[in-house]
Chains A and B, each alone.
Chain A
Amino acid sequence: MSGRATTRRQLLSAIGMIGGATALYQAMTTLGHAAETQFKGPPNLSGARPGQSIIVLGAGLAGMVAAYELSKAGYQVRILEYQPRAGGRNWSLYGGDTYTELGGATQHIGFAPGNYLNPGPWRIPHHHRTLLHYCKAFGVQLEPFIQFNHNAYVHNADAFGGKPQRFHEVAADFEGNVAELLGKAIDQKALDAELTVEDRERLKEALREWGALDENMRYVKGLTASEHRGYERPPGGGVNGAPIASTPFDRTDVLKSGVWETMAFFMNMEMQTTMFQPVGGIGMIGKAFARQVQPLITHNAKVTKIFQDKTGVTVTYSDTGTGAVSEAKADFCVCTIPLGVLNQIDINVTPEKQAAISAIPYSNSVKIGLEMKRRFWEEDDYIYGGHSFTSQDIGLISYPNNHLFGEGPAVLLGAFARTGFSANRLAGMTPEQRIEAALAQGSVFHPDSYRKEFSNGASVAWSRVPWTLGCCARWNEDTRKAHYQTLVAVDDRIVLAGEHASYVGCWMEGALTSSLDAITRLHSRALEA
């Protein structure tokens, strides 16, 4: 297989998206990734039979929203949680925190007050309405998450001699080249069968404007192209006020840069602006949920057995500190334990349900926070929030969206490594090695400052997180077909909930919508009983 074929296929895919390819959108909708949330408001359950009880396993967002809504409905609710902390994957690490991963490596977080790393979720799409509803209801203060920054960098080791370039320059050049080529195709009558004469003219006009082409439908050095890609000398005042046009990059470098991946990424429904983040770290959401249900939570409870019969559900758990074994009984159970963990717990559900629990592997991901002594990306490079993308394992570096123009130390996200080689390579390192890798790779963007201004760092490798053993459930079309409905169905007295039981996988919204649907069905079941 040649690299050229690969590039061409990916390129066509990106152009397909730019062209708004219906088929691609429909394929994604089928997988459940492009559609907006189905949230129509909180479930407003009511009328629980007096004295009926429900045990919730896991105090992540799915578990806590279940406990909150079921309590309101009149059930006696109790939550068992493995960790000493509520919130689950909704979690921020602050200075003074300690984190021990599987394998025993312990990190003492050294961030300055107010700074944080969000190891898991970190951004909220504007259409994740369930999450936004509860954030508002529970008093979580939100601020903009700067998702799209045209002035951040894109870096690909194979393009521009390995030198990062500003997104607005490379993206403008990509669009300009595509527009020019498509214009030529029209002029060479390649699209006559597809388009009427009028539509050809309309499309050419659109291409001229969208691609910043000149009057001859060419993407060339000039003030028109510079309005998109930026200037050699920007417009100003006085004697030297006149702008000087910049020179577009070589087309081959533009194609090699992979910028179209980044452009297509931002087109995805869930990556579109406006996005939000909680003031003070994503973990503020988990804390706000916990304030609603904290008295119901038993912490440090490691579930070892879930047994149901005609009389109810019995959950066996051990105290992670003392090892003391206890049993908790309830009429029904909402289990939000991640599948990779649940798969190792003795639970008497149908064989089909057990097969579904065992069938779904988990993704990996690594995030690394680097505290820098000053905001050199703002002060020296005029980058205010957003992401610089790289073809290296770290995937990107992301700039803080809060306290812009602030003095003092700030935390950069120094890596968001995708599942596959990148996440596994970084996860397999010691915390110290991860920081070194993040510094070495991230330096490509800010070579003069990155190591010089570095103060301290922290990392979370999701494959080594003791309470999940992975990041998120990885469904595919085959497993959806074979197992999804079985997984989400109420199994006598037990129902599963969490991002793994949703089509909004790996998002907080998925955890919440899954849970609300699960408890609504469980409530119906309880009323029938």
Chain B
Amino acid sequence: MQTPSPRLLLAMGLALAAIAAPALADEPGGLTQTSAPVTGEQVYTQVCQACHMANAKGGQGAAVIPALAGDPRLAVAAYPIAMVVNGRGAMPGFTDLLNPTQIANVVGYVRTHFGNAYPKPVTPQEVARIEGAK
């Protein structure tokens, strides 16, 4: 099934996402219009946390959701950026949901929280570069 690109309406500092999908699967129908997260913490809480958990420790069942807490692979920003842009396995890429600024914000947030200390800021330009290489 295909998820349509959300329409991001950025006006007067208010971010709105309107998502309307045709019934490509057993989906709810109707139109969803809710505010989109902006800061790194907001994006983490409202997107990443669904799988990686509030403490960023991931989970283990029939397979593993990797922990992001204390993760040395976050040292090079390009790695987490590429993960968010391209996805891997069950994890989708998020470029249809998040713009480069949102991705830069959340990667920067994860790299400086949950026991990670990689303070070099992540820029939307870096994200855009990796998106361009997709």
Contacts and interface: CB of A to CB of B under 8 A. Distances in A.
Interface of A: 1-3, 6, 10, 28, 31, 33, 82, 102-104, 121-123, 154, 156-158, 258, 261-262, 264-266, 268, 270-271, 302, 337-341, 343-345, 358, 361-364, 387, 389-393, 395-396, 416-425, 427-428, 461, 463-470, 472-477, 505-507
Given A391-B33, A393-B32, A469-B51, A33 B63 contact: no
Given A33-B23, A340-B63, A505 B1 contact: yes
Given A416-B28, A469-B61, A475-B2, A421 B34 contact: yes
B11 to A, nearest CB: 7
A364 B65 CA distance: 14
Contacts of A463: 50-51
A134 to B, nearest CB: 18
Interface of B: 1-3, 6-9, 11, 16-34, 36-37, 45-51, 53-54, 59-65, 87-93, 97
B95 to A, nearest CB: 12
Given A361-B91, A418-B28, A474-B2, A466 B62 contact: yes
Given A1-B9, A10-B20, A396 B53 contact: no
A421 B7 CA distance: 12
A392 B3 contact: no
B88 A396 contact: no
A427 B59 CA distance: 14
Given A339-B90, A466-B59, A476-B2, A271 B31 contact: no
Contact of B46 (A258, A361, A387, A421): A421
Contacts of A392: 32, 34
Contacts of A271: 23, 29
Nearest to B21: A418
The A interface is mostly helix, strand or loop, or mixed, namely loop
B3 A6 contact: no
Contacts of A417: 28
Contacts of A389: 28-31
A192 B54 CA distance: 61
B8 A396 contact: no
A268 B27 CA distance: 11
A265 to B, nearest CB: 3
B20 A363 contact: no
A262 B34 contact: no
A337 B6 CA distance: 30
Pick the 9 closest A-B CB pairs, nearest first.
A340-B90, A466-B61, A506-B25, A102-B59, A389-B30, A265-B29, A258-B31, A428-B49, A361-B92
A427 B90 CA distance: 16
B27 to A, nearest CB: 6
12 contacts: A6-B18, A31-B24, A82-B61, A103-B59, A123-B26, A258-B30, A258-B31, A262-B30, A271-B29, A391-B30, A417-B28, A424-B50
Given A102-B65, A344-B64, A472-B1, A261 B30 contact: yes
B62 A391 contact: no
Given A258-B31, A361-B91, A389-B29, A505 B50 contact: no
B109 to A, nearest CB: 14
Nearest to B16: A3
A344 B66 CA distance: 11
Nearest to A158: B33
Contacts of B33: 156-158, 258, 391
A362 B46 CA distance: 17
Contacts of A10: 20
Nearest to B11: A3
A117 to B, nearest CB: 15
Contact of A421 (B19, B31, B51): B19
Nearest to A474: B1
Nearest to A477: B2
Contacts of B49: 424, 427-428
Given A33-B23, A344-B64, A423 B1 contact: no
Contact of A343 (B21, B48, B54, B89): B89
A391 B2 contact: no
A395 B34 CA distance: 10
A20 B61 CA distance: 45
Contacts of A476: 1-2
Nearest to A83: B62
Contact of B90 (A122, A154, A261, A361): A361
Contacts of A261: 20, 29-31
A419 B53 CA distance: 17
Contact of A302 (B6, B62, B92): B62
A469 to B, nearest CB: 5
B23 A343 contact: no
